[in-house]
Amino acid sequence: MARIADDSDFEALKRLVDNHDGWTLELSKSDTEVYTRPVPGCNFNMVKIHTEFADVTADIVFDVLHDPDYRKVWDSHMLASEEIGILNVNNDVGYYASGVVLTPTDTIKTFDSTLEPGGL
């Protein structure tokens, strides 16, 4: 069951950034590392991607990733995006659909997801 994120959830999320206990490093390339970790009670893994941008702040990265209008500029895989509703000033729910070309057959596989980004 989902719930609205609060300040304690945001603090826990920030602790996940530098704490790699229980995470498996899946990829390390240049300045980017991709980690996975099982989620208790779920059949999928949590994914954490860590990279550093020398001239971009974390606030700017967050805004770029969560701005639905600007995402159309940089996300070439996005097919559709829509705000479903606002839960409070820091939490909303959105719909995102993407299409990825899978080689070698060049077929397009679509992915639909609902997102609850939080910005406390």
Q: What is the pLDDT along the chain (120 residues), one digit of tens a residue?
A: 667 888 888 888 888 888 999 999 999 999 899 999 998 898 888 899 988 888 999 889 888 887 878 888 888 888 888 888 888 877 888 888 887 766 666 665 666 555 555 554
Residues 97, 116: one domain?
A: yes
Residues 120, 66: one domain?
A: yes
Give me the amino acid identity at 57: T
Q: By residue range, what is the domain housing residue 2?
A: 1-52
Q: How far apart are CA 105 and CA 30, in angstroms?
A: 30
Strands (E), the chain: 24-29, 32-38, 45-51, 78-88, 91-102, 107-115
Residues 78, 115: one domain?
A: yes
Residues 70, 44: one domain?
A: no
Q: Domain boundary at 37, 52, 67, which?
A: 52
Residues 20, 62: one domain?
A: no
Which residues share a beta bridge with 118? 91
Domain count, the chain: 2
Residues 64, 92: one domain?
A: yes
pLDDT at 38: 92
pLDDT at 120: 46
Q: Domain boundary at 30, 52, 74, which?
A: 52
Maximum C-alpha span of the chain: 46
